[in-house]
Structure 1
Amino acid sequence: MFINKIHHIAIICSDYEKSKNFYVNILGFKILNEIYRSERKSYKLDLEIAGEYQIELFSFPSPPERITSPEARGLRHLAFEVDNIEDFIKYLNKNNIIVESVKMDEITNKKYTFFRDPDNLPLEICEK
């Protein structure tokens, strides 16, 4: 088995302050980091659940309703942690699953990439 655990869930919201209030004040998630990305006119709020980093809450100006685009309102993608990203990509490729090129997260300096489930929903793998 390659997957260790769910790494994080990314959500794009339509109203940042309302969603922030819901996740922080109503559900009780702890804020780890909040960044405003002026070039994207977007907030990124990192939230902790039960001692683990689990939710990324994003805002974008006027996000469209979810169709299939990864930048639409709602669940952005589901991410899984793996020990070795290249080994897992080989495994996916052997199973005829197309994987995007590997990228490096500019904040964590960890490797990640995306692939799609059978319904074309975006899934991410992140190297431990």
Structure 2
Amino acid sequence: MLVTDEAMRSDPRKPYSVDQVLSGRENSRSYILGRAAELAPQLDCLVDGQQPDADHDGYGPCFQDCDEDDPAINPDAAELCDGVDNDCSGFVDDTPACPCPSIISEGQTFYLCHNDLTW
């Protein structure tokens, strides 16, 4: 939806002045143009919905496949307790089947778990 300057000026519910809205729009435009190469893949996903699938695992790079070079890593993959985020959850080995790494400090053992444990 395209918002025109005239529509912004006539909207009685607007919480910001027209100048603030136009300034925000210009700041957003400058941000995007200044990072065109970095943002291009994400913008392509939003614009045309195309998802090239380089590793042929059924998931493209558009906010789904966290490793487009490895077909074994995708959102439907099982976590393998191998130090890799196999299921693209954002955490490594974050399933209850995976052991928690631990450290010992000043005689105390601390478990560094990514999943809930029952004690």
The answer, yes or no, to whether TM exceeds 0.5 is no
Which has the higher relative contact order, 1 or 2, with Cα contacts under 8 A spaced 6 or more apart?
Answer: 1
Larger Rg: 1 or 2? 2
- Structure showing the higher helix proportion among its residues: 2
* TM-score normalised by L of structure 2: 0.19
